[in-house]
Structure 1
Amino acid sequence: MIIVLKNGHEDIIDEIKSRFTETNEVFVHNNRVAIQGVSEDDLNAEEKNAIDLIIDNVPAAVQGSRLFHPEDTVVVTPHSQIGGDNFTMMAGPCSVESAEHVMKMAKVAKSGGATILRGGAFKPRTSPYSFQGLGEDGLKFLRAAADAYDMDVLTEVMDQDHVAMVEQYTDIFQIGARNMQNFSLLKAVGKTQTPVMLKRGMSATIDDILNAAEYIAAGGNHNIIITERGIRTFDNKYTRNTLDVGAVPVLQKLTHYPVIVDPSHAAGHTEFVTPEALAGVAVGASGLVVEIHDDPAHAFSDGAQALKPDEYRAMAQQAFAIRKVITTPVEEKSEVKL
């Protein structure tokens, strides 16, 4: 149950917390109080008198729900604001291959308008014999490249034992699709205040990812970014996954967290990345995270889906243009030049 208090009655919050916290989960956001396992009959007369609205049938992922937190969450990092009215470009190689290469890719990412440099130092691969990443050295290279171009770092953390180490180098933790329901890892990043980009699992429903985000929020970390990166459907012959563009507005209706799109892992092939990226922008995503490489044929991982520098810059230019169109008031649209 969520109760919305009348203006001037916020003082009742402390009383509600003292009465219910011992036996129930109680969450507070401004003048809204969510109480798990409580009905209106459990409230006393003073509490009922202070209530403007009662919302029943609250989802399990209460802290991420717009019913509890109506305003957009904006995740703030040193060089980026993600969510709300902002549009954020994130780009970089799939894997950090060397100090020199990631520095070169940081320059390319920045040239396309990215404020966040992505790159994997620890790589969850389908085959145990594939390149697994450079580990902490890769993190150092990634951090140095981002700092050189005034960008933030986004990198994957795969294991709860690595959280403290990865946190030293990153501005945003990435939780990959394979780890979306690694609840020990979600709890571990939830105990930090470092932003978390949570990717939707390959077969995850909307409720699945919202509940995964709730594990992070339950630990006290509300700096959460949700990423749609494609799901498994009937056919993966022509694309790696199916980009569920419809999930973007659905998630934006249900949760206050920023929702971004990863077209690289959805498409799996360079020729489809740009169209899927632009589709994500068109449905209102708060940003894109894309993979780039100057020599995809010799990339250490996922070269088939990496955009070459010129392809990336062209895609980024179109993405920002589409974003401008869809966010421009109707009466001003005739003045927008693409």
Structure 2
Amino acid sequence: MLGSSRLVCLLVLLLECCLWVAAKRDFYAVLGVDRSASKKDIKKAYREQSRKYHPDKNPGDKNAEQKFVELAEAYEALSDDEKRRLYDQYGEEGLKGSGKQFHNPFDIFSQFGGFGGGSFGQRAERRGPSIVMPLDITLEELFRGVEIEVEINKQIICPICRGSGAKSHEHVKTCHSCGGHGVKIMRQQLAPGFVQQVQVTCDVCGGRGKIVQSKCAACAGEKVKRGSSQMTVQVERGMGDGQSIVFEGEADQSPDQRAGDVKFTLRQRPHPVFTRKGDNLYMTQAITLKEALLGFEKKVAHLDGKDLPIARKTVTQPGFVQTIKGQGMPKFGFPSERGDLFVEYSVVFPTTLTAEQQKLAAKLFEK
């Protein structure tokens, strides 16, 4: 049998191992997806969960804040093929050992058209221009909601020098002219005994306080280059023509200022059948003279692809408008509620009548 001291040591060691195993995070479990989940499934899970636990929706809730951060880390690890390979093979320690760092969780959230930037990390006061792009969309897509992948070409910070413009960090030196302050004090004598001090931007470093001795070969010292960015635009049910979806901080990047926003403005294509006004839909339905007089039952293909029955049991006058409750557009933000559908009827008269038909019609209407 083991001695009491050896037994205690063994129990402590087992306890430490259990705690270590418990501390390891399963990124798949954090997002609530299987290990075989596709990129699309991972994006969908992150989008739904991150909105639920966003700090702006859970003010003062530290658990929600921690969950929001974990969701961003899990998404960032599993949405990147190389990071996912490292994680699947070596776990979270493999990511740390590779030097791959996690980004600001609010920056990750903003890629999905997030509704807030949060307070994690300081943002530069200066902002670059925003990018405004029209996004053509059908009425069916506005009815059902749709997820659209969009790739935009933009200016990105050079991934080699990380915005320094230098070959390596050893080639960035403090400006000898301004001592790294970016400004210099100039003295001007206005009159005997009167000297004015003026602060001017350093003409050697251009106000940066640093001088690049050897330029980065990838960006030729420009600090930025052209690149592309893949964005997932989530068009929610009931959105309307002219409505905007904003991706904060996703416009052209610059090491000297905060990036502007990318704003997608929805532009609805004309529909051959339905016209939209607010949450209501309008359409014109042609019926024959017989149907106008005797009534009818028809089916109309709705925007979700399902057949919608419409019927009249009495005489239908040309221009009569029938209201079908709850068959309009979903209301944005409350998709379970819907507007109404208004059907205006036009009667198609026969172009000619035979002699026998004329007699029958005359007899029908003689009284």
Instruction: Pick the TM interval, shorter chain.
Output: under 0.3
1 or 2, which has the higher strand percentage?
A: 2
Which structure has the larger Rg?
Answer: 2
With normalisation by structure 1, the TM-score equals 0.21
Between structures 1 and 2, the one with greater helix share: 1
Q: Given the two structures, how large is their TM-score scaled by the length of structure 2?
A: 0.20
